[in-house]
């Protein structure tokens, strides 16, 4: 039984999908005017784990994450680079796939783009106007916020509280300061589309409502995104979607916490704006992913090199213990006297599932993985090893790897493959037997450069990555 924290109700709830065995999930994606920053990577990774765990539990997950390819930032970038908006969007969508692919994020079921849904957006807005929830004014279209009685239910704010900070900007012709824009009148030399309201482009909030409706229907199971999107973006999505669809927009709302850089909020003004494209040139993407899930998704996370280094060490411990299990597999036998190890492995798997069932607690899931590694390290010290125990260790390691999305072996193409290392160790052993110590030392230095540590064991020389 999976429970998750629902931002809408501010409490943990037992998850129950609309359609048995199927989950409809929408995650707000990036605005594609630049490479994604580390703040964009967190929801991509966190909700990828949610998806993976739901799939592990037998659900078919329809996972939709949009690209915002029309907005003020893209238009500004278009003017700066003197390139069409679509060209810039295409470039950074390709870059997004490359960056999140390196982080082992599974491809979404679909990645809808605003430009491909312009007719749907215009139709959606027209229907809101027809029902009295929206109105045209001065070439723009606005949503009548007060007409939607439940406005504020996600962010838990009242209309009276919201009115205190609301104001009408220069050029806006709203009926009420709380009303928000659905359609923006075209400005000279800006990308625009023809509509019954005049040439223009959609507001940000309406885009996600329409794409979610088009891809997943009137009501979805899980809507997810960063904490910063709760208000006004997700609040406005609820208002316009439920006014149009005459149905709840999403049954569960998930929001991940903020990322700080060395204990400071990430911002361009502070010069600590970190792009994933740059990070993964210096840090193993597997380590970055492992670091990101080492903290519960709803908690803030602090990015610094010391904490990333700790994550690197933790992942190496797990991988080294798995490698030791693989090595003992070659000499395992069919002994039947070690079933207590299988019981312990299964208990750790139960522990893993218990914490993941509790609001997808990846931090505690990693603790379970460490426990499995400790047990593996203890097991390989046994004089004899069982094929059945080894197989169960490998099965559970693979479950943890698949659910958390962290490969059991390093994916760095510059590293020697395990079979290459084994061949070099064998060559070194032969060189020592032949008293060719120069060659033996050369191989040792070569392995040391690859951060590979040799260890003498009763079964011979084995290695681990340091």
Name the E strands within 7-88: 11-14, 22-27, 60-65
SS3 label, residue 154: coil
Cα gap 373→227, rounded to integer Å? 34
Annotated ligand binding at 60? The verdict is: no
SS3 label, residue 149: coil
DSSP 192: -
DSSP 15: -
Cα gap 189→71, rounded to integer Å? 14
Cα gap 46→295, rounded to integer Å? 10
DSSP 335: -
DSSP output for 90-107: HHHHHHHHHHHHHTTPPP
Cα gap 41→368, rounded to integer Å? 24
Cα gap 324→418, rounded to integer Å? 12
User: Cβ contacts of residue 352 below 8 Å, gap of 6+?
Assistant: 365, 368, 369, 399, 400, 403
* Tokens, residue 244: 């149009």
Cα gap 354→381, rounded to integer Å? 29
User: Cβ contacts of residue 368 below 8 Å, gap of 6+?
Assistant: 348, 349, 351, 352, 355, 400
* Sole residue written with tokens 């990577």: 41
Cα gap 92→67, rounded to integer Å? 10
Cα gap 38→259, rounded to integer Å? 8
Whole-number Cα distances in Å, 339 to 370, 375, 386, 396: 21, 13, 9, 15
Let me know if 299 is exposed, middle or buried by CB neighbors in 10 A (0-12, 13-18, 19+): exposed
* Tokens, residue 167: 């104001």
Annotated ligand binding at 312? The verdict is: no
Annotated ligand binding at 233? The verdict is: yes
DSSP output for 66-86: -BB-SSHHHHHHHHHHT--HH
Let me know if 80 is exposed, middle or buried by CB neighbors in 10 A (0-12, 13-18, 19+): exposed
* Tokens, residue 301: 């996370």
Annotated ligand binding at 28? The verdict is: yes
Binding residues: 28, 208, 233, 237, 268
Binding residues for Zn(2+): 28, 208, 233, 237
Binding residues for ATP: 268
């Amino acid at each position: 039984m999976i429970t998750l924290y629902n931002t809408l109700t501010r409490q943990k709830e037992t998850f129950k999908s609309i359609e048995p065995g199927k989950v409809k999930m929408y995650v707000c994606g990036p605005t594609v005017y630049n490479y994604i920053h580390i703040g964009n990577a967190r929801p991509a990774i966190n909700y990828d784990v949610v998806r993976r765990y739901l799939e592990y539990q037998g659900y078919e997950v329809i996972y939709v994450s949009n690209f915002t390819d029309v907005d003020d930032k893209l238009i500004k970038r278009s003017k700066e680079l003197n390139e069409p908006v679509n060209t810039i969007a295409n470039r950074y969508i390709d870059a997004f796939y490359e960056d999140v692919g390196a982080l082992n994020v599974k491809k979404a079921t679909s990645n809808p783009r605003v430009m491909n849904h312009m007719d749907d957006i215009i139709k959606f807005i027209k229907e809101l106007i027809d029902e009295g929830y929206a109105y045209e004014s001065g070439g723009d279209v606005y949503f009548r916020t007060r007409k939607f009685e439940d406005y504020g239910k996600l962010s838990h704010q009242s209309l009276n509280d919201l009115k205190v900070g609301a104001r009408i900007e220069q050029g806006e012709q709203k009926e009420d300061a709380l009303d928000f824009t659905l359609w923006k009148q075209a400005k000279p030399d800006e990308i625009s589309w023809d509509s019954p309201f005049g040439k223009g482009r959609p507001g940000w909030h309406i885009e996600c409502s329409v794409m979610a409706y088009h891809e997943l229907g009137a009501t979805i199971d899980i809507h997810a995104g960063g904490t910063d999107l709760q208000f006004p973006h997700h609040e406005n999505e609820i208002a316009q979607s439920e006014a149009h669809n005459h149905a709840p927009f999403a049954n569960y709302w998930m929001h991940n916490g903020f990322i700080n850089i060395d204990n400071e909020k990430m911002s361009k003004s502070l010069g600590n704006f970190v792009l994933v494209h740059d990070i993964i040139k210096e840090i193993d993407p597997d380590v970055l992913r492992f670091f990101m899930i080492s903290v519960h998704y709803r908690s803030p996370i602090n990015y610094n090199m010391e904490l990333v280094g700790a994550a690197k060490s933790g992942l190496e411990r797990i991988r080294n213990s798995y490698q030791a299990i693989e090595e003992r597999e070659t000499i395992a036998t069919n002994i039947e006297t070690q079933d207590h190890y299988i019981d312990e492995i299964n208990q750790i798997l139960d522990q893993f599932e218990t914490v993941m069932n509790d609001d997808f607690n990846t931090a505690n899931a990693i603790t379970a993985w460490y426990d499995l590694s400790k047990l593996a390290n203890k097991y390989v010290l046994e004089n004899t090893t069982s094929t059945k125990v080894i197989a169960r260790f490998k099965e559970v390691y693979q479950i943890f790897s698949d659910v958390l999305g962290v490969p059991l072996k390093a994916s760095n193409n510059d590293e020697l493959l395990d079979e290459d290392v084994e061949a070099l160790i064998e060559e070194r052993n032969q060189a020592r037997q032949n008293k060719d110590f120069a060659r033996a030392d050369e191989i040792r230095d070569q392995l040391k450069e690859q951060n590979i540590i040799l260890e003498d064991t009763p079964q011979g020389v084995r290695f681990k990555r340091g």
